[in-house]
């Protein structure tokens, strides 16, 4: 019997309606509640669970007490096994992390979680890359790419996965607000890592059938193209992302997963550099930058790779920016442009243009990059 875990962050999504950015931390929550915000996560989870009701007798459900999952499941007619406890009063991310760890240990096939970026981050810290998960969107800001586009879709995709009708998984970025920057008044997102989610193109892109060729296949095709065209005179600055990771794998080089690496003459020169280290390394050298959209919003700069500051970009030069992305990633943007938010308006404007995106072996697509005024 398949095991499905459910974890709801009951306070996620409360901030947006009352004009707050997220509900991390007890003080923000108190503020939201005082402003009259009502919990939404439960309702949205129920929308997802409705798609799973047909599997009621074929799947074992494991969840957390009360508003963290039990209430929603019982409402839909499920009989879940309840684990863990809830801290009195407001729930905290510790409860989420504990529950996810327990579910991983119990050999859960899929953990469904409802929340926002904060919740995704909590799940990630518990299970890292060893558990298949899927997010039901209920938070206000979602940069993480681990969420389905709406609750019913999350339910449908979970259902397919549990029935074995889609067997593929794909790594997606876990992003959350960069607190350090936020306190300095800069809104930016940090890349924390990658979670495995079920992959069924139909629910990401509405295609007819599941793809026998995986995302990894296309990423390898891109990597082959990039490596084929590498010029020994240049220093290649490789940004984070699963597609850029494939390039490093093609070259048989370890990569820092979340940070900026430099490759020269197909060898790893430096790893996980911050902005200052980067500037030191590339000053006066011919370089090319390889970046890929990070997170579900389509940002190629400014979310998850802030080390690539306006100063760094000035040294590299616009003509030496190479953007890589699978066609599926491009199409998931649903015609929205790729976005840049470097923190410097002029740099953003220079980068607002049509770019040739490498989407495979000997294939590219011309797509718009623009700065978004938030």
Partner 1 sequence: MKNNKAKVRNFHQAKWDEEIIFELDTPGECGMLTPQIEPEIEQLVGDGISTLPQNMKRVRPPELPEVSQMRVLKHFLRLSQQCLGADFNIDIGQGTCTVKYNPKINEVLAGNENASQIHPLQDQSTVQGALEIMYKLESFLKEISGMDRFSLQPSSGSAAIFTMASIIQAYHKSRGQAEQRDEIITTIFSHPSDAAAAAVKGYKVITLYQNEDGLPDAEALKKVVSNRTAGLLITNPEDTGIFNPRIVEFTRIVHQAGGLCGYDQANANGILGITRAKEADFDLCFFNLHKTFGAPHGCGGPGSGSLGVNKKLMEFLPVPVVGFDSEKYFLDYNLPNTIGKTRSFYGAFPVILKAYAWIMSLGADGLTEAANVAVLNNNYLLEKIKKIKGAAAPYAKGRHRIEQVRYSWEPLFADTGITTEEVTFRLADFGFHLWSSHHPFVVPQPFTIEPTESYSKDELDEYLAGLEHVVREAYEDPEKLKGAPYNSVVHKIDHSTLDDPKKWAITWRSYLKKHKCTD
Partner 2 sequence: MDKRKEFVHPYIPNSVPQVKARMLKEIGVESIEELYEDIPESLRFKGKMNIPQALGSEYDLKRHVEQILAKNRSCSKNISFLGGGCWRHYVPAICDEINHRSEFLTAYAGEPYEDHGRFQSLFEYQSLMAELLDVDVVNVPTYDWCQAASTAMRMAERITGRSEILVVDTVNPDRLSAIRNYCTPVLTVTTLKHDEQTGMIDLDDLKAKMSANVAGVYFENPSYLGIIESQGQAISDIVHSNGALSVVGVDPICLGLLTPPSGYGADITCGDIQSLGLHMYYGGALGGFIATRDEEKFVMEYPSRLFGITKTAVEGEYGFGDVAYDRTSFGVREKGKEFVGTAAALWGITAGVYLSLMGPKGMTELGRHILQKSQYAMAMLSKLKGVKVPRFESSHFKEFVVDFSQTGKTVEQINKALLDENIFGGHDLGGLSKELDNCALYCVTEMHTKADIDKLVTVLSKCLG
By the criterion CB under 8 A, which residues form the site for partner 1? 152, 165, 205-212, 327-328, 330-331, 334-335, 353-356, 359, 362-368
336-365 positions binding partner 2, by CB under 8 A? 360, 363
> DSSP character for 236?
E
Per-residue tokens: 72: 């929603």
Q: How far is the CB of 159 from partner 1 (least distance, A)?
A: 12
Q: What does 331 bind: partner 2, partner 1, none (CB cut-off 5 to 8 Å by kind)? A: partner 1
Site string for partner 2, 119-158 (x = CB under 8 A): ----------------------------------------
Q: Which residues of 75-101 are buried (b: 16+ CB within 10 A; e: fewer)?
A: ebebebebbbebeeeebbbebbbbbbb
> 338 with 290: CB under 8 angstroms?
no
128: nearest Cα among 66, 73, 192, 195: 195
Identify which of residues 53 and 207 has a Cβ nearer to partner 2 in the complex. Answer: 207
Q: How far is the CB of 361 from partner 2 (least distance, A)?
A: 8
Torsion on CA atoms 338, 287, 360, 268, rounded to nearest 10: -120
Identify which of residues 193 and 210 has a Cβ nearer to partner 2 in the complex. Answer: 210
| Binding segment toward partner 2, per CB under 8 A, in 17-25, 60-68, 206-214, 293-301 | 206-214
103: nearest Cα among 117, 116, 113, 91: 113
Q: How far is CA 260 from CA 78, 251, 271, 303, in A?
A: 46, 16, 6, 13
Identify which of residues 101 and 365 has a Cβ nearer to partner 1 in the complex. Answer: 365
Q: Which residues contact 217 (CB under 8 A, 6 or more apart)?
A: none
- Residue 334 CA to residue 204 CA, distance in Å, equals 10
186-205 positions binding partner 2, by CB under 8 A? 201
DSSP per-residue letters across 277-342? HHHHHHTTS-EEEEE--BTTTTEEESBS-TTS-HHHHHHH-GGGEEEE--HHHHHHTTTPPEEE--
- Residue 29 CA to residue 15 CA, distance in Å, equals 8
Identify which of residues 31 and 168 has a Cβ nearer to partner 2 in the complex. Answer: 168
Identify which of residues 136 and 282 has a Cβ nearer to partner 1 in the complex. Answer: 136
Per-residue tokens: 285: 């050298």
Identify which of residues 169 and 347 has a Cβ nearer to partner 2 in the complex. Answer: 169
- Residue 145 CA to residue 208 CA, distance in Å, equals 22
* 315 interacts with partner 2 by CB under 8 A: no
- Residue 172 CA to residue 193 CA, distance in Å, equals 8
* 211 interacts with partner 2 by CB under 8 A: yes
* 54 interacts with partner 2 by CB under 8 A: no
Q: How far is the CB of 91 from partner 1 (least distance, A)?
A: 29
* 209 interacts with partner 2 by CB under 8 A: yes
* 212 interacts with partner 2 by CB under 8 A: yes
Q: What does 335 bind: partner 2, partner 1, none (CB cut-off 5 to 8 Å by kind)? A: partner 1
Q: How far is the CB of 330 from partner 1 (least distance, A)?
A: 8
Identify which of residues 56 and 168 has a Cβ nearer to partner 1 in the complex. Answer: 168
Identify which of residues 36 and 212 has a Cβ nearer to partner 2 in the complex. Answer: 212
| Paired residues of 299 in beta bridges | 294, 339
* 34 interacts with partner 2 by CB under 8 A: no
Q: How far is the CB of 188 from partner 2 (least distance, A)?
A: 34
* 208 interacts with partner 2 by CB under 8 A: yes
User: Which residues in this chain contact partner 2 in the complex, by CB under 8 A?
Assistant: 201, 207-213, 218, 221, 327, 360, 363
């Amino acid at each position: 019997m398949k095991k499905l875990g459910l974890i709801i962050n009951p306070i996620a999504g409360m901030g947006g309606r009352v004009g707050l950015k997220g509900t991390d931390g007890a003080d923000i929550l108190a503020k939201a509640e005082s402003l009259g915000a009502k919990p939404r996560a439960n309702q949205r989870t129920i929308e997802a669970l409705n798609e799973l009701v047909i599997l009621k007798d074929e799947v074992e459900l494991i969840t957390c007490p009360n508003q963290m999952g039990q209430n929603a499941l019982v409402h839909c007619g499920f009989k879940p096994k309840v684990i863990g406890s809830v801290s009195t009063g407001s729930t905290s991310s510790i409860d989420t992390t504990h529950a996810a760890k327990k579910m991983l240990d119990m050999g859960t096939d899929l953990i469904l979680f409802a929340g926002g970026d904060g919740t995704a981050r909590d799940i990630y810290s518990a299970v890292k890359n060893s558990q298949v998960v899927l997010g039901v969107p209920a938070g206000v800001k979602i940069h993480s790419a681990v969420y389905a586009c709406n609750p019913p879709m999350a339910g449908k995709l979970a259902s397919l996965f549990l029935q074995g009708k889609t067997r593929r998984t794909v790594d997606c970025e876990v992003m959350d607000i960069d607190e350090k920057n936020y306190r300095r008044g800069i809104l930016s997102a940090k890349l924390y890592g990658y979670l495995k989610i079920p992959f069924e193109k139909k629910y990401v892109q509405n295609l007819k059938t599941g793809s026998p060729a995986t995302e990894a296949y296309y990423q390898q095709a891109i990597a082959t193209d990039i490596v084929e065209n590498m010029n020994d005179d240049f220093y290649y600055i490789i940004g984070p992302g699963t597609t850029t990771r494939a390039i490093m794998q093609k070259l048989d080089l370890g990569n820092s997963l979340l940070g900026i690496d430099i490759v020269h003459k197909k060898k790893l020169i430096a790893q996980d550099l911050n902005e200052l280290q980067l500037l030191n390394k590339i000053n006066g050298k011919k370089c090319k930058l390889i970046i890929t959209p990070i997170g579900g919003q389509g940002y190629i700069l400014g979310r998850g790779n802030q080390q690539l500051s306006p100063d760094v970009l000035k040294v590299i030069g616009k003509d030496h920016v190479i953007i890589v992305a699978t066609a599926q990633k491009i199409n998931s943007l649903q015609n929205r442009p790729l976005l840049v938010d470097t923190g410097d308006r002029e740099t953003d404007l220079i980068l607002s243009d049509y770019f040739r995106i490498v989407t495979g072996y000997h294939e590219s697509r011309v797509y718009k990059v623009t700065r978004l005024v938030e």
